[in-house]
A and B are shown apart, each in its own frame.
Chain A
Amino acid sequence: MKDYLILGASILGDAPTDVVVRDGNIASIGSGNAEPRANVPMETIDGTGLIALPGMVDLHVHLREPGREDAETVETGSRAAAKGGFTAVHAMANSSPVADTAGVVEQVHRLGQDAGWTEVYPVGAITKGLGGKVLAELGAMAESSAKVRMFSDDGHCVNNAQLMRRAMEYVKTIDGFVAQHAQDADLTGWETESPAQMNEGRVSATLGLPGWPAVAEEAIIARDVLLADYVGSRIHICHVSTKGSVEIIRWAKERGIQVTAEVTPHHLMLTDELVKSYDPVYKVNPPLRTEADTQALREALAEGVIDVIGTDHAPHPEQAKECEWDQAAMGMTGLETALPAVQHAMVETGLIGWRRFAEITSIRPAEIYGHTHQGRPIAAGEPANMILIDPSAATTVHPGTHASKGRNSPFRGIELPGEVRHTFLGGLPVMLDGELATPRSTGSAA
């Protein structure tokens, strides 16, 4: 393994300095102490104009394997993660078969290790088959070699309040936590002939598409924070999308309820006005909301009411999006556009600096999951999960160049700021100069 000397990079936007990466860790910070070791080659990376950030940690991706390898595989999704600057991703359970047994989560975990571009942590289903009826084998998944700690039926809401209460209680006994996809099934016409298709409001009234009302999300969040308080568990809310949800989470945090919340880059930037094109690339669950919602989400993320960015990376094959709106699949890719989108929505607007950026994309998600080697400071002795980004770059999004199999990026054709140039995974540069380099080989230390 080589040593790496990064010259003149700015850690979290501070004054430029040098960083030495050695044996998987950050060996030193500061100029003048970068003497090469005997018999160990040292590669120099020009960090001029680049900002060093802790590798991003995504609590919410869909890697589609097993079952939908035409949409994405753990390998291609891992490549997309490395290119996007993520050193850890958490793969949701809605694969086929569902990740509701030790066998499936171990398979996904092993595929992630074999790929070696990022760390892949499978998320276990809360209920068997995502059916919302009976608990999945949460203990077996926790004790498996994948050591699952996060449980979610994402894509489906756990609508049954009694089951949700018991899931929150049960995961306490295995040191896990539950992440809820907050969507009241009745209010969104789920499993009916006319399920909700877009945000309910002025635009849906005109377009004649069944509406997904904000209250369908807010009612479940309100219920679940009360349940979390009642049973003394913690709860993570996936992809918060409305202004009203922000108000409920703010209230819950003020009461000391253990709630954490996530927002996607697309909900920070895009609104339901885009649906007027009827282009299914804008179809997503929860749906794109209004300008007032995006503003509230940005402010909540800056203040800390919302804790983290989660991409909800959801690749789909072309035919699933090149069809009538009401038949199109829901979801957007996100791994390779997350940093530019968040820089655009949060940093360029002056709402946050790079220190807060590191908190929402790395430090807090790692804390929520309980990782001790991710989301760490860029300091001597720390694991070298780190990215170098060029904040002054401006790039037009071309989904065809993405490493993900999915081409369903809502940002296509849009120029966004910021570019990930280098990604270090455990001291190894899995991406160098904007190009994928070498994956970590199986068996190396995580």
Chain B
Amino acid sequence: MKHLLDTQGLAYDDALAILDTADEMTAVSSREVKKLPTLRGRTVVNLFYEDSTRTRISFEAAAKRLSADVMNFSAKGSSVSKGESLKDTVQTLDAMGADAIVIRHSASGAAAQLAASDWSEAAVINAGDGTHEHPTQALLDALTLRRGWSAAHASSPRGSDLSGMRVLIVGDIVHSRVARSNVWLLRTLGADVHLAAPATLLPYGTDSWPVTIHYSLDDALSAAPDAVMMLRVQAERMGGTFFPTAAEYARRWGLTDERLAVVERLRQGTTDAAALILHPGPMNRGVEISSAAADSPQAKILDQVAHGVAVRMAVLHLLLSQRQPDGSHDE
């Protein structure tokens, strides 16, 4: 692994290595001194073309807990509006000695273009590109799911995958990089992936994906998922061209109090453990998820946040600890 660009191309062994390493990293985060010396002297740049305080501070915390130096570069807006091209920005960061570039960009493919270019030798980590992928989010979701699934089965999460687990992803799939990354990663890990959304929020061409599609959330819930992942509905989608109103969306596609009662009866597999509720945040309480559902004991939303730091530590560790300072890479 030289870069982490997407989960579609992430091999099973690499995915498990990240999850297992992340499990070790969670122990660091609960220690009194939350720091490892692994990346001392390495420089991690957070190159953020979109506002995302949550993701940026998660990466920043991860890099700092590994003792790396962190530089934050916020480049709001497009390269056209700010007057410097991605190429020039990246070459500038490279000249400053970046070992890893964590890039968040509104353009799908920006991370892949950076990795394919000769602009920098740094390891590239995709922190979300347009509506393409957000691989570390999917990895932290998988870490959360794996912990829940193995706890339900009273087994150790280490080395295990998600075989047999049914995960339902609900909402705005078409605009969601989180959904795309989850579909590929969860399938790689052996999960059975279901999607539930109005047809307007599913990409044309989804029929070729290895998933089961529902147009009714109630039908999807009656298929007995072991985990339900609610996606955020962006305010700008509520204008009436994708669905009529936020109220109709909540009635038909939201995890309402009535549907929470259904989810409360769901069990993981044949165990007695309750099904899991996930949300990548930030939540629109009352739209895609009711307050009761968000605050339910089944909701793992804050675990997801904690796991985000651990997963990003694992990714930085695995990408950088095998690299020579000149950018070459040990296999």
Question: Which residues of A line the B interface, CB within 8 A?
Answer: 197, 200-209, 211, 213, 277-279, 319, 322-327
Contact = CB atoms under 8 A, between A and B. Distances in A.
A327 B79 contact: yes
B146 to A, nearest CB: 24
Nearest to A211: B204
B209 A325 contact: no
A327 B205 contact: no
Given A207-B132, A278-B108, A279-B113, 18 more contacts: A197-B108, A202-B205, A204-B205, A205-B203, A205-B206, A205-B208, A206-B8, A206-B205, A209-B109, A209-B131, A211-B203, A278-B109, A278-B116, A324-B78, A324-B109, A325-B109, A325-B110, A327-B107
B130 interface: yes
B156 interface: no
A208 B205 contact: no
A208 B204 contact: no
B107 A324 contact: yes
B105 interface: yes
B130 A326 contact: yes
Contacts of A201: 204-205
12 contacts: A200-B205, A201-B205, A207-B108, A208-B108, A208-B180, A209-B108, A209-B109, A279-B116, A322-B85, A324-B110, A325-B113, A326-B130
Contacts of B131: 208-209
B199 interface: no
Given A208-B132, A208-B133, A322-B85, A327 B78 contact: yes
A251 to B, nearest CB: 25
B42 interface: no
A278 B112 contact: yes
B108 A326 contact: yes
Contacts of B86: 323-324
Nearest to B184: A206
A93 to B, nearest CB: 25
Contact of B108 (A200, A319, A323, A325): A325
A278 B132 CA distance: 11
Nearest to A203: B205
B208 A325 contact: no
B194 interface: no
Contacts of B205: 200-206, 211
Interface string B79-92: 11000011100000
A327 B131 CA distance: 15
A205 B202 CA distance: 9
A241 to B, nearest CB: 17
Nearest to B109: A278
Contacts of A200: 204-205
Contacts of B107: 324-327
A208 B105 CA distance: 13
Contacts of B106: 326
A319 B206 CA distance: 34
Given A200-B205, A201-B204, A319-B85, A206 B79 contact: no
B177 interface: yes
A200 B116 CA distance: 24
Interface string B118-147: 000000000001111100000000000000
B115 to A, nearest CB: 10
B89 to A, nearest CB: 11
Interface string B33-63: 0000000000000000000000000000000
A48 B112 CA distance: 49
A213 B109 CA distance: 20
Closest 9 CB pairs of A and B: A278-B109, A205-B205, A208-B132, A208-B131, A324-B107, A205-B203, A208-B108, A202-B205, A202-B208
Interface in B163-187: 177, 180
A222 B107 CA distance: 33
A58 to B, nearest CB: 31
A319 B88 CA distance: 11
A323 B87 contact: yes
A208 B177 contact: yes
A325 B111 CA distance: 11
Nearest to A277: B116
Contacts of A204: 203-205
A277 B115 CA distance: 11
Nearest to B177: A208
Contacts of B105: 324
A213 B133 CA distance: 22
A391 to B, nearest CB: 35
Nearest to B206: A205
Contacts of B204: 200-201, 204-205, 211, 213
Contacts of A197: 108
A202 B210 CA distance: 12
Nearest to A205: B205
